[in-house]
Amino acid sequence: MYVTSIEVTTAMKARTFKRHIREGLKNTWRNSWMTLASVGAVTTTLILVGAFLVLLLNINHIAENLEEDVEIKVLVDLTASETETASVGDELERLDNVKSVTFSTREEELERLVSGLGDEGDIFGLQDQENPLNDAYIIKLDDPTETVTMAQEIVTFDYVEDVNYGENFVQNLFDFNAYARNIGLILIVALLFTAIFLISNTIKITIFARRKEIEIMQLVGATKWFIRWPFFVEGMLLGVLGSVIPIGALIGGYYYLDQNMSAVQQFDFITLLPFSPFVWQISGVIILIGVVIGVWGSVMSVRKFLKI
């Protein structure tokens, strides 16, 4: 007989749903001190998490830009014939991980060198002398972090005189990027755990104060979910409230940063992620994290008092 009544209540009535929301809001208001404490904990952590996210993603962005610029220049032997030069190009094309191969004749190389030197190039009169440069292939990689190993492989090819890729700079750059990413990630995960701990503790206190309420609800025949829902709503609300200040700080702070960074032109290789949509994406992430830790914290702590 009561199997059917279980099924009926699983599909929650709209009225009951409204009741849970109302009850959750009421509880948040009634326990205003605890609400304040929880929201404070969420706010603090989300500000830190937000700041780290912005920092980490921008470091990542800058690193990617720099990595994009990394290319390997393959210098072909001066004595190589035209067909031999072409065979080097074919060999390079066949490699995995190669995004593009561009051929540049020694004349083009000279031109580039001269134009790179600007006015001084004309003064040297380099064009008038015999061209000392090699034909070259410029290759870009799908995964730039493989640059060093690739370069070491390519240098062993026939008719390859040398490879240039700015050895030290590239290796240091990749090492730094990897460190920055890992440390940032560890910090964010650690922060999230701290936040969940703080929030579940605060909510545990609020629920502890309300264990009598839970006990009585169970006494009059409330199902587990009926008891849980208002706490669910409350946790969600705490998460949302706790993300208001961090999001405000993020939008304001990033706007300020964005305005001032673009004014500093000499560092044009350091470009921040554009204000929009970056800020909105991070705001979404912050709200989501807030809601998840709020709900998680409240569900964890209410479980302890749900004996039946």
Nearer Cβ to another protein (7/268): 7
The DSSP result for 214-265, as a single string, is HHHHHHTT--HHHHHHHHHHHHHHHHHHHTHHHHHHHHHHHHHHHHHHHH-G
Residue number, 205 or 251, with CB nearest to another protein: 205
Closest of 256, 245, 180, 211 to residue 40, by C-alpha: 245
Is residue 5 part of the contact set for another protein (CB under 8 A)? Answer: yes
Residue 11 interacts with another protein (CB under 8 A): yes or no: no
Among 59, 205, 217, 285, binds another protein (CB under 8 A): 217
Question: Are the C-beta atoms of 74 and 153 separated by less than 8 Å?
Answer: no
Long-range CB contacts for residues 6-14, cutoff 8 Å, separation at least 24 = 9/223, 9/226, 12/225
Site residues (CB under 8 A) for another protein, limited to 195-214: 212-213
Selection from 148, 161, 143 nearest residue 84 by Cα = 161
Which of 11, 123, 220, 264 touches another protein (CB under 8 A)? 220
Piece in contact with another protein (CB under 8 A), picked from 2-10, 49-57, 152-160, 282-290 = 2-10
Contact 128, 52 (CB under 8 A): no
Select the residue interacting with another protein from 157, 226, 275, 296 (CB under 8 A). Answer: 226
Spatial separation of the C-alpha atoms in residues 158 and 102, rounded to whole Å = 18
Number of residues in contact with another protein, rule: CB under 8 A? 24
* Helices and strands in the chain, H and E counts: 12, 4
Residues 12-51 that bind another protein (CB under 8 A): 13, 15-16, 19, 30
Q: Min. distance of Cβ 19 from another protein in angstroms?
A: 6
Element (H, E) at 195: helix 167-209
- Establish if 111 lies at the interface with another protein (CB under 8 A): no
Q: Does 181 bind another protein (CB under 8 A)?
A: no
Least distance between another protein and beta carbon 34 (Å): 13
Q: Which is nearer to another protein, 1 or 123 (CB)?
A: 1
Q: Site residues (CB under 8 A) for another protein?
A: 1-2, 5-6, 9, 13, 15-16, 19, 30, 212-213, 215-224, 226, 308
